Amino acid sequence: MRVLITGAASRLGQAIAARLRDRHHLRLLDSTPLEPGPNATSMQASLLDPQAMWQAVRNIDAVIHTGEPPADLPGDELARDQLLLDLATRGTHVLFLAAAEAGIKRLVYTGTLEVFAEYPDEVYISEMWKPLPPPAMPVLSRYLGELTCREFTRDYMVGITALRLGRLVLEEEVAGQPGDLMWLDLRDAAQAVECALQRDTSQRVWWTQRWGLYHVVAPINNAKFLISQAAQLGYKPEHAFAAHWAGGQA
């Protein structure tokens, strides 16, 4: 499969590329230059450029839109927030419109479980819970990007799978730190994205069947976030951060 990955210079983009490059041909898109590596090509462009997005989706079978912010964000807070908002909403729409017009049927978007950070840790949150995103643009923009994807599914015969990812780390790099119920190893995040890539619901009549939403986090006992729906995609996380929990929870 020929796969376009946005935000490819981010840690998440790199983890996804490392997971997929042996089985798929990749086109890595970012606003900053990057080395593509084996079985891949790279493209430097902004999501806000319709002509560039039209070129980015040529001869592509599926799109993975990480929603990750660019590394070269403005230093000014207002300018940064305006760019994050524009990329998450208009940029996502420009990208997905180009993909739909090119006949691409499989689209994947990665959002964040930070939209539930205001809830206490003693609850069990499924995909049916109402997000409470804070007004901080790094989180709010990711949620608005997700909503843009959902509304896009209403209007176009494409299948869109949205993954709300936990806080991205590597299990070995947080050794000795207090456990975090929102942790997700980058390698497990990439595995979840690969699972989502196999979901093709573009021919379903009802948009609610073409749209899919899944929570992705580490498999922690008594976890805050339920991942049973993601398991139906084939998600089988390997990093449980067991050493961080009393009694050696896994």
Complete domains list, the chain, with CATH: 2-244 (3.40.50.720)
Single-letter amino acid code for the residue at 125: I
DSSP annotation of 225: B
pLDDT tens across the length of the chain (250 residues): 999 999 999 999 999 999 999 999 999 999 999 999 999 999 999 999 999 999 999 999 999 999 999 988 898 999 999 999 999 999 999 999 999 999 999 999 999 999 999 999 999 999 999 999 999 999 999 999 999 999 999 999 999 999 999 999 999 999 888 889 999 999 999 999 999 999 999 999 999 999 999 999 999 887 899 999 999 999 999 999 988 876 544 3
How do residues 87-119 score in pLDDT, each as one tens digit? 999 999 999 999 999 999 999 999 999 999 999
Residue 200 exposed, middle or buried by CB count within 10 Å (0-12, 13-18, 19+): middle
Give 118-137 pLDDT, tens digit per residue: 999 999 999 999 999 999 99
> Model's pTM, two decimal places?
0.95
Length of the chain: 250
pLDDT at position 250, please?
38
Q: Please tell me the distance from the alpha carbon of residue 43 to that of residue 34, in angstroms, as a whole number.
A: 8
How far is CA 167 from each of CA 11, 143, 185, 200, rounded to the nearest angstrom? Answer: 12, 15, 8, 27
Distance (Å, rounded) from C-alpha 187 to C-alpha 190? Answer: 5
Which residues on adjacent β-strands are paired with residue 112? 165
DSSP classification of residue 178: P
Distance of CA 196 to the CA centre of its chain: 10
Starting at the edge strand found earlier in the chain, the sheet holding 40-44 runs: 40-44, 25-30, 2-5, 62-65, 106-112, 159-165, 211-216
3-state secondary structure labels for all residues of 103-160: CCCEEEEEEEHHHHCCCCCCCCECCCCCCCCCCCHHHHHHHHHHHHHHHHHHHCCCEE
